[in-house]
């Protein structure tokens, strides 16, 4: 497992290459739980993934380039970080990816390899072996986990008496890194994962005390496309098992309402996966501890028409 020293080393490596996001007071809802938001949608690629990708890339040395498999925020992050570092990146994407996402990755100078959706992981591994590239996985990697953990250091620096941190959970890279940092610096603070009910494998895993896989067909039904991982990572799971206090689940309607609240009351564009933590705060207070609460707004890459639809529909309707 990684330690807070790994996270500190990551913070030194990524300084000046990612945005040092502020901690912003949110409109207080529940006087027992003053609320702050960590807006990672401010990263140039629109999501926290830039931290882990930048840290992992900084440890690569003397190799012809890097490769990964992702159709989402990690793809964009690795393309951006590689471009900045002057390194060649190859991104394996499923052939049914959104053309806009493929174009965005290519615009950042990365090479894109399209493969059938169920072959992307093995295709990336094969490319790494054939071409001598370094594989940088989206979450199940110690350098990636340490990079995401820098969010936890910044939360403790800005709010030393934080009581609870709510973090979206998919493959588990973000919450693993944050939990390591928070538990080292503020052991009494609770670290709580939030995931969609429809992709509730992490909540079930923590309840049962063992990694538990869910059927992808079920997870695919959530609008939170960044949180559809079927199972926690082999490397993230031990961190989650040891450091995460609880995992709660939110409904699709709650995610929609949280996206609306982020835009209308907080002036931030949130993607569904980024808004689950606010949904947890807004609708699941009875499952949360009292005290100063931070929700990590992990990203803001949402289709404009989806956001327009949410803003023009009636609240609660």
Residues that bind a copy of itself (CB under 8 A): 19-22, 24-27, 39, 41-42, 44, 46, 260, 263-264, 267-269, 300-301, 304-305, 307-309, 311-312
Q: What angle do CA 255, 257, 259 make, to 5 degrees?
A: 70
Q: Which is nearer to a copy of itself, 41 or 212 (CB)?
A: 41
CB of 64 to a copy of itself, least distance (A): 26
| Active-site residue, selected from the candidate residues 101, 176, 298, 313 | 298
Cβ neighbors of 189 (< 8 A, separation 6 or more) are 162, 163, 164, 165, 182, 183
CA-CA distance, 104 to 26, in Å (whole number)? Answer: 31
Given the residues 38, 49, 101, 190, select the one marked as catalytic.
49
Kind of pairing between the strands at 111-115 and 190-196: unpaired
Told to judge if 298 belongs to the known catalytic residues of this protein, a careful annotator would answer yes
Buried b (16+ CB within 10 A) or exposed e, 97-113: beeebbebbeebebebe
Among candidate residues 301, 11, 57, 315, the one with its CA nearest the CA of residue 151: 11
SS3 labels along 98-136: CHHHHHHHHHCCCEEEEECHHHHHHHHHHHHHHHCCEEC
Q: Is 150 helix (H, G, I), strand (E, B) or coil?
A: helix
What is the smallest separation between the CB atom of 19 and a copy of itself, expressed in angstroms? 5
- Quick one: 42 or 126, whose CB is closer to a copy of itself? 42
In the complex with a copy of itself, the residue whose CB is nearer, 44 or 238, is: 44
Write down the least CB distance from residue 44 to a copy of itself, Å.
Answer: 5
Which C-beta is closer to a copy of itself: that of 96 or that of 312?
312
Kindly report the number of other CB atoms within 10 A of residue 251's CB atom: 14
Annotated active-site residue 38? The verdict is no
User: Among residues 217 and 314, whose Cβ is nearest to a copy of itself?
Assistant: 314
**To the nearest whole angstrom, how small is the minimum distance from the Cβ of residue 215 to a copy of itself?**
32
Tell me which residues are annotated as active site. Answer: 49, 298
């Amino acid at each position: 497992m990684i330690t807070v020293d790994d996270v500190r080393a990551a913070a030194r490596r990524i300084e000046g290459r990612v945005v040092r996001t502020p901690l912003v007071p949110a409109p207080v809802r529940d006087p027992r739980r003053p609320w702050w938001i960590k807006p990672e949608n401010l990263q140039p690629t629109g999501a926290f993934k830039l931290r882990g990708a930048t840290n992992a890339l900084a440890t690569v040395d003397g190799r012809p380039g890097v490769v990964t498999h992702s159709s989402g925020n990690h793809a964009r992050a690795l393309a951006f970080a590689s471009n900045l570092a002057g390194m060649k990146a190859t991104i394996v994407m499923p052939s049914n990816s959104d053309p806009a996402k493929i174009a965005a990755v290519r615009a950042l100078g990365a090479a894109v390899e399209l493969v059938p959706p169920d072959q992307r992981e093995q295709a990336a591994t094969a490319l790494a072996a054939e071409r001598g590239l370094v594989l940088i996985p989206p979450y199940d990697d110690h350098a990636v986990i340490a990079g995401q953990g820098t969010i936890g250091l910044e939360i403790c620096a800005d709010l030393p008496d934080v009581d609870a941190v709510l973090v979206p959970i998919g493959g588990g890279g973000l919450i693993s890194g944050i939990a390591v940092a928070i538990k080292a610096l503020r052991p009494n603070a609770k670290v709580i994962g939030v995931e969609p009910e429809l992709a509730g494998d992490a909540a079930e895993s923590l309840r049962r005390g063992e990694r538990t896989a869910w059927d992808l067909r079920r997870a695919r039904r959530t609008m939170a496309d960044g949180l559809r991982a079927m199972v926690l990572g082999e490397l993230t799971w031990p961190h989650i098992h040891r450091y995460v206090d609880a995992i709660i689940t939110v409904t699709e309607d709650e995610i929609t309402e949280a996206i609306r609240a982020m835009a209308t009351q907080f002036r931030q564009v949130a993607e569904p996966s980024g808004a689950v933590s606010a949904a947890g705060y807004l609708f699941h207070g009875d499952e949360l501890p009292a005290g100063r609460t931070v929700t990590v707004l992990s990203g803001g890459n949402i289709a404009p028409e989806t956001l327009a639809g949410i803003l023009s529909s009636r609240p609660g309707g």
